[in-house]
C-alpha cells in the first residue's frame, strides 16, 4: 500500500455525521494504492471459479486443451477478476472511504477492458484508484478503477466499478434488508 498518500481526515475515532462522511469521501478522491497482497492464480482456483460459474469450456479445466488453444496454462474465466477486486478494495474502505459502518454499499455497475487473459501460474498485482464521488437523490456514488498486472508487469485487466451507498445518519431498514439479500459478505 502506498505510504506516501495522506488519508484525508486521519483515522476515524468517533461516529461521523452524514455530512462528515460525504466530506471525507469527497476529499479522498484520488486516493490510490497497490494492494499489498499478491494474488496467486492456481489451477484449482480457476477450476473452482469456472465450476461455480457453470463454465464448461475445457480451457478453464484442462491444461492440454488450454495449450492446444494457444495458452500457457488453463485460463481464468473473464469475470474472475471481480473476486480479486473485492479483496483489493478492503483497504479502500478501511483507510479512505470511511463512515459507512453497517450501511450497505452495493455495486451498481462494472465495466472491464481485458488486455490479456489471466492464466494459472500468474502472480497478480492490483492497483486500486478512487476516481470520483458524487451524491444523487440521497445516494453516494463511488467510482473506482482497478489495474491488474502479472508478475512481469504485463497489464491484464482494467476495471471500473460504481458503488452506491448512503452516508445518511439513519439506516433505512428496508434498504438494509434488501441489500443483505443480494450482497456478498465476507468474501476472501
Cα distances (angstroms) measured from residue 13 to each of 9, 10, 16, 31, 98: 11, 9, 9, 20, 11
Q: Cα angle at 148 between 147 and 153, to 5 degrees?
A: 105
Domains of the chain: 27-186 (3.10.129.10)
Distance CA(154)–CA(149), nearest Å, equals: 5
What is the tens place of the pLDDT at every residue in 97-141? 877 765 667 888 999 999 999 999 999 999 999 999 999 888 889
Beta bridge partners of 162: 109, 143
Does pTM top 0.85 for this prediction?
Answer: no
What is the tens place of the pLDDT at every residue in 13-66? 456 777 888 888 899 999 999 999 999 999 999 999 999 999 999 999 999 999
Q: Which three cell numbers stand for residue 28?
A: 479522498
Strand 123-136 vs strand 32-34: parallel, antiparallel, or unpaired?
antiparallel
According to the model, what pLDDT value does residue 3 have? 36
Amino acid at each position: 500500500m502506498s505510504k506516501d498518500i495522506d488519508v484525508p481526515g486521519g483515522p476515524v475515532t468517533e461516529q461521523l455525521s452524514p455530512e462528515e462522511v460525504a466530506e471525507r469521501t469527497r476529499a479522498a478522491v484520488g486516493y490510490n494504492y497497490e494492494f499489498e497482497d499478491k494474488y496467486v492464480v492456481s489451477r484449482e482456483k480457476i477450476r473452482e471459479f469456472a465450476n461455480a460459474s457453470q463454465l464448461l469450456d475445457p480451457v478453464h479445466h484442462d491444461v492440454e486443451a488450454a495449450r492446444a488453444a494457444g495458452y500457457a496454462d488453463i485460463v481464468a474465466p473473464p469475470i474472475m477478476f471481480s473476486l480479486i477486486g473485492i479483496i483489493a478494495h478492503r483497504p479502500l474502505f478501511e483507510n479512505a472511504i470511511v463512515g459507512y459502518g453497517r450501511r450497505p454499499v452495493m455495486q451498481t455497475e462494472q465495466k472491464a477492458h481485458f488486455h490479456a487473459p489471466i492464466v494459472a501460474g500468474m502472480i497478480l498485482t492490483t492497483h486500486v484508484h478512487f476516481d470520483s464521488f458524487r451524491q444523487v437523490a440521497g445516494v453516494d456514488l463511488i467510482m473506482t478503477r482497478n489495474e491488474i498486472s502479472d508478475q512481469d508487469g504485463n497489464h491484464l485487466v482494467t476495471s471500473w466499478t460504481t458503488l452506491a451507498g448512503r452516508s445518511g445518519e439513519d439506516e433505512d431498514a428496508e434498504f438494509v434488508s434488501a441489500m443483505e439479500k443480494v450482497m456478498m459478505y465476507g468474501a476472501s
